Structure 1
Amino acid sequence: MTDLALPGQLATLVALSSGDSRADTLIRLTCGRTVSLPLLPSPVDLVDDRSEEDLVLVAFAEQFAADVTGIGDNQRSCFVRAFGDRAFRTVVAIFIADFVPRVWAGCEALGLGRPGVVGDVAFDRNTDPVDTLLNDFVPAVARLRELDAVTTELVRLRGAEAHNCRLCKSLRERHALDEGGSEEIYRQIADYETAESLSDAHKAALRYVDALIWTPSRIEPDVAHGVREHFSEEQAFELTLDVMRNATNKIAVSLGADAPRVADGTECYEIDESGQTIFA
């Protein structure tokens, strides 16, 4: 069942802050311009002068939005050194600025409007976006059950590969395995267009994942049509939010915190009814 509160949660995320209004504006300008999508509302106007910290932030946010796998040890170290104990909260703010516009672009392409858009944003510098994103929004999306477990897992693994999240690539969701998922099927994700074991619906979903990740400002009509052909509106909305939920792995990847829990092979987990991840 679709959580009717999710559009409101998107609106809440848009209002949250890194704790620094100037940094928030730089982040939103950078992310929007990098992926060629409308910017999230910004809390302040900027003057032209840029500090060394500003330059580090802009470079990090730009790479995060364009391709998080391109953040190397030196850039990561410069960012953490510049932001210190504010680094994690700042990266979460970058993620929100990076991905909410992608969700809106996807929903618009599918004829679903822009869920959670409000006319006037009441910015909140006090609430920590880390808790709101990871402990409220992410489990709420994980509780959605309109999509079957195999499709959900295929979408997750495609995003894991795109962002090169080592932890995500090492995980396998138990419900998907119980419903027919297998390593043979998962190996075909890389070349899904010619995959014999993937359905037309699976391929339509994976094309949409790729579009949201790599070309969100240019979601081709045939990609959107494929989603609408194979999925209901509720399923299409869940699919879009799943891409965002899975993409929170960009936070860990950007900070070099995506190491797998197993040295070899894969580890089984499941999403429980509350949307929490339970490891076997």
Structure 2
Amino acid sequence: MTERALPERLAGLVALSSGEERADTLIRLTCGRALSLPPLPTPTDLPDEYTDEDAVLVAFAEQFAVDVTGIGDIQRERLMDVFGDNAFRVVVAIFIADFVPRVWAGCEALGLGKPGWSADVTLDRDTDPVAKVLGGLVPAVARLHDLDPVTTEVVRLRGAEAHNCRLCKSLREGHALDAGGSEDLYRQIADFESADGLSEAHKAALRYVDALIWSPSRIDAAVADGVRRHFSESQMLELTLDVMRNAANKIAVSLAADAPRVAEGTERYEVDEQGQTIFA
């Protein structure tokens, strides 16, 4: 994926739908409110009255955006009861409404504009967002290589911990290990500000990761300045998209589909030239 393709790809995500117009409106307005950011364009007005089914969707989307680790079995079961076979598509639509506004907020804070933003969006209710996100966006971002592999892995592991993705925490990317990544280094991520093994560039990136995850509407100028000090424009864009790519783990976490690959320790994997995950 080239930089020129990024606006088109992000715009394409914004046009994707859960398949239900009313659900799209509730999802987008709920995520925008939870993030204190402008929501993605909505296809219809907010309903005058909420049904019980609406309340289930709103509660799930809000918890997904604020802290996905707070979604429990009962909330998950209620969403499945309401949406049935369409539940996975609905959750992917929530991910888009949750994270594209974060990308735009991060890019604006870094002086990169809002790639793919448009006030005029026509929702596509026919295209499945699952394939576009997991089969399109995720490997496309993984094919970007302006960032070094250790920085990419440090950023991934910070997001894995924030979202408590058991699968992500059980994996270690091989190119990063070959480039100098190690368990000793990765253990320092948890308390990175006082870590002596992480570089100043790593720390600047991790501050930005935390801002995108926990306070995207309030990205401190000092955090943005730190990123600009250590990274080029193409690296900053990749860093922002890496946070989004990694945050796709929220989909699995929200559905309790994030079981680790191994019961103990970690497993090595690699991202190939197509951006696909290859396990050892």
State if a TM-score over 0.5 links the two structures: yes
3-state SS of 1:256 partner: coil
Mapped pair 1:248 → 2:248: yes
2:81 maps to what in 1? 81
Within a 5 Å distance, the mapping from 1:1-280 to structure 2 comes to 2-280=2-280
Distance 2:46 2:157 in 1: 39
Letter in 1 for 2:79: F
Distance 1:2 1:146, change over 3 A: farther
* C-alpha deviation, 1:2, in angstroms: 4.0
Distance 2:55 2:47 in 1: 14
* C-alpha deviation, 1:120, in angstroms: 1.1
Letter in 1 for 2:134: L
18-27 or 70-79, larger mean C-alpha shift: 70-79
Letter in 2 for 1:237: L
3-state SS of 1:191 partner: helix
3-state SS of 2:190 partner: coil
Map Cα deviations across residues 166-220 of structure 1 (whole Å, 9 max, x no partner): 0000000000000000000000000000000000000000000000000000000
Distance 1:118 1:58 in 2: 25
Q: Do the aligned residues in 2 keep the contact of 1:60 with 1:75 (CA within 8 Å)?
A: yes
Distance 2:47 2:172 in 1: 48
Aligned-pair identity in percent equals 75
Q: Do the aligned residues in 2 keep the contact of 1:2 with 1:145 (CA within 8 Å)?
A: no
* C-alpha deviation, 1:42, in angstroms: 0.3
Unaligned runs of 5+ in 2: none
3-state SS of 1:77 partner: helix
Map Cα deviations across residues 16-46 of structure 1 (whole Å, 9 max, x no partner): 0000010000000000000100110001112
Q: Do the aligned residues in 2 keep the contact of 1:228 with 1:236 (CA within 8 Å)?
A: yes
TM-score, normalization by structure 2 = 0.99
Distance 2:2 2:189 in 1: 27
3-state SS of 1:5 partner: helix
Letter in 2 for 1:236: M
Unaligned runs of 5+ in 1: none
* C-alpha deviation, 1:119, in angstroms: 3.2
Q: How many residues align?
A: 280
3-state SS of 2:50 partner: coil
Distance 1:151 1:7 in 2: 24
TM-score, normalization by structure 1 = 0.99
Distance 2:129 2:216 in 1: 24
116-125 or 221-230, larger mean C-alpha shift: 116-125
3-state SS of 1:141 partner: helix
3-state SS of 1:265 partner: coil
Q: Do the aligned residues in 2 keep the contact of 1:6 with 1:140 (CA within 8 Å)?
A: no
* C-alpha deviation, 1:47, in angstroms: 2.6
